[in-house]
Amino acid sequence: MLNILPVILHAILFFNLAFGKPIEKPIVEFPYQHAFRRPDISSSFQSTPASHLPSTATLKARPTTVYRIPSPLNTFPRFQERSVEHGQSEILEWIAVEVLGPDIGDRHTLAQLARMAGNAYALPGRKNWYDLDGAWNSSFPFGWENPEDGFRGNVFLSADNSTIVLSIKGTTLQGPTSKKDKFNDNLLFSCCCARVDFTWVFRTVCDCYMHSRTCGNTCLSKALIQDSLFYSIGVGLVNDLLMLYPQANLWLVGHSLGGALASLLGSTYGLPAVAFESPGERLAAERLHLPLPPPSLNTSSSVLPVTHVYHTADPIPQGACNGFASPCAQAGYALETRCHLGKSIVFDTVTKLKWAVDVRTHPIKHIINRILEAEDVVWEDGRDVPEAVEERDCVDCSKWSFPDED
């Protein structure tokens, strides 16, 4: 799968260039065919100064410091191998880079990114496609060729190609991708291979369970790193986009499972990522042996360019849709984690809007239509959206032990 992604991307780009709708500004071009100019932030989005600005009909960006390592595609596999196989950590050279990232304090910007996340579930022109600001009407899909591939979504391009937004699809409950979606959900967000209790013995997604709430840590890491996992496929796709658009700002967005994947990939590459209604992915990052930059701050994930956005009536991002009797478990999902990387913007819909906690508030349409685009709710005095804060003192799977196998 990884080997054919570059061919697929080139084919999709060629099709869009040859047959796509005309746009007023320059069409998408391959980066090795022309020299990129510095991003013109006035054309597709605005740079936000320190003072608060009202929302406008454009995406807003702000300077964001990210930490990266040289040649991540070559370095991370080596780091993972040494960490998993030999229990050794490699000293990495981190570089602080200032890029333009999304202004997560602007509600309109978050709403547009949420619409892009929602569009990962659809193709342009379909009834569940969300309209975007005019500057972002250029896009191409990925992963839709084989109905059962699972890892799919859309790539959005600003009119001048200065900013690329990779939108990754989350879980589809009923559809051709549902089986692989559930496999990835249960592997990433369960404590031990989706073994909720003894009745799940025939529904587990790996063989790492040892005995009485004890699970092999090395076994779990190997299971998550395997090539069939969506994360591994995403690594190849991000690498392709960085090759095609080496001077552009690359942002990642996604909803639910797609948001967790956006966060993990953003952490891997040091790319801004916004995840909507995502289950906790911090434990998955540890099992994937992703180093948190810089090494001196490994006790904190706030330096990662990742922002989670969710509301208090949705039990999934809070790790509250678990246990044998929960609707998630009844549907075959072991969503047991709640700790997130980076920082989180939490809308208190239970207090402000009197919503009941209900898994039916999880779809992306609720956070778009009823939260981000609702004009009659003041979430925090003097702020467009609640402040993004780190989830400190958060612990996943505290009743389990995870020894390293001999």
In the chain, count H helices and then E strands. Answer: 12, 12
Rounded CA separation 207/193 (Å): 7
User: Phi and psi at residue 352, in whole multiples of 5°?
Assistant: -75, -40
3-state SS assignment for residue 141: strand
Q: What is the bridge-based pairing of β-strands 214-215 and 209-211?
A: antiparallel
Query: Which has the closest alpha carbon to 275: 232, 310, 242?
Result: 310
Tokens at residue 308, please?
A: 């989670």
Q: Which residue shows structure tokens 């859309």?
A: 154
Catalytic positions, written as ranges = 256
Name the residue among 381, 362, 364, 382 with its Cα closest to residue 373: 364
Q: Using alpha carbons, list the distances in angstroms from residue 180 to 14, 329, 343.
A: 29, 17, 28
The DSSP bridge partners found for residue 63 are 100
Residue listed under structure tokens 């959900």? 185
Whole-angstrom Cα distance, residue 128 to residue 368? 13
Query: Which of 351, 286, 283, 371 minimizes the C-alpha distance to 319?
Result: 283
The two three-digit tokens of residue 27, written as one number: 């069409």
